[in-house]
Structure 1
């Protein structure tokens, strides 16, 4: 798991051959103008999901992980809390849903780590990283987020 700002992305380009495409998309796109939906960057190898929502209480947000894709979760506007825990600390894993590349979990056996992300910040979650997103950090806020999916 990585947490950084877009200005620091050069440190992380080398981690995956397609991270460069993902970060260039974030830098060269008018993020505030993009409507919700899916945007192909390199077919199914790299694509962006633009989402808008109101943050929720932690108890209403589920844990998840992915097998086939790395998530780069970038906050365009607003603020949210994202919790992180290694997979071996998550309980109640569901069956893998291949068409969504997702496994849902009931809870974490340890507190894990809480990240407070605001506009211009991103978190990278690898397949071994369980995460719980969309959590309100204090007051409920409207968030616009771009999740860049990078095929492993």
Structure 2
């Protein structure tokens, strides 16, 4: 997991491939904030991102997921959330596939958490468990861009 803020992108020590994705004018924080809900993919690119609103909720109401084919970059456009995560490779744990490349863990081991606010992002590599949209104090709306980057690009 790598975390950072879009206003200080160089400090995040991202691999070049991820830095190149987030440093484009079409993926700047202000540009992303101006977009409507939906799925976006730049011409010729294998990666894409989804923008939308969600409501945070208590930890016990949130599932824990991981991916095998895609890396997630979860970027807060407005609001705040807590994402719980583990530093272990959970791909051999007990899980079920909810939809393509979305695996839900039955008994996740989550030892860490990060509080994200506007402009903050966290990356989750394939096999890294993460529980997004956990509320800070009370359930609130959060607007996010979630980038899906194929593992072969990393």
CA-atom RMSD in angstroms: 2.4
Shift of 1:96: 7.6
Shift in CA distance, 119/18, structure 1 to aligned 2, threshold 3 Å? closer
Alignment of 1:60 onto 2:61: yes
CA distance in 2, matches of 1:140, 1:95: 27
- Cα shift readout 1:41-64 (whole Å, capped 9, x = no counterpart): 255611111120111111111111
Q: Any residues of structure 2 matched to 1:1-152 within 5 Å, and which?
A: 1-11=1-11, 15-17=15-17, 19-24=19-24, 25-27=26-28, 30-42=31-43, 45-85=46-86, 86-88=88-90, 91-95=93-97, 97=99, 100-109=100-109, 111-152=110-151
Question: Does the CA-based 8 Å contact 2:76-2:116 persist in structure 1?
Answer: yes
Question: Does the CA-based 8 Å contact 1:96-1:102 persist in structure 2?
Answer: yes
Question: Does the CA-based 8 Å contact 1:13-1:20 persist in structure 2?
Answer: no
Shift of 1:9: 2.0
TM-score (norm 2): 0.83
The aligned length equals 149
Question: Does the CA-based 8 Å contact 2:48-2:147 persist in structure 1?
Answer: yes
Which ranges in structure 2 are unaligned for 5 or more consecutive residues?
Answer: none
Which ranges in structure 1 are unaligned for 5 or more consecutive residues?
Answer: none
- Cα shift readout 1:92-111 (whole Å, capped 9, x = no counterpart): 311484xx3121112324x4
CA distance in 1, matches of 2:37, 2:90: 33
Shift of 1:118: 0.5
CA distance in 2, matches of 1:149, 1:13: 19
Shift in CA distance, 19/135, structure 1 to aligned 2, threshold 3 Å? same
